[in-house]
Amino acid sequence: MTNLINKLVRDEAGFIVSAELVLISTIAVLGLVVGLSEVSLNINNELEDVGSAFSAMNQGFSVSGAYGHKGGKSCSSFEDGCDFCAGQNDIH
């Protein structure tokens, strides 16, 4: 029995493999966290742009008198500006 316990204590087979797997999984998890935070930031920026476009809508209209059938409308417009760090090669 003592011989078996000594063999198990001195057995290092598989130690390198499990250490490598821990290192690879740690790097993968860190990469996922960074990637998902970047996706979250970009989704929030796009939703803010959509909200700004909706708030820029003008639903008013005007009628220019009782003679004829002339009516008018006022136009709505929204110009999307560049977001912070929104360049082609920028990473936030």
What is the rounded distance in angstroms from the CA atom of residue 74 to the CA atom of residue 65?
Answer: 16
Q: What are the percentages of helix, strand and coil residues in the chain, rounded to 5?
A: 55, 5, 40
pLDDT-based confidence at residue 33 (cuts at 50, 70, 90)? very high
pLDDT at position 36 is 94
Q: What is the pTM of this model?
A: 0.49
Instruction: Please state the domain extents for the chain.
Output: 26-53
- Rounded distance, CA 92 to CA 84, Å? 8
Least confident of 4-18, 39-53, 72-86: 72-86
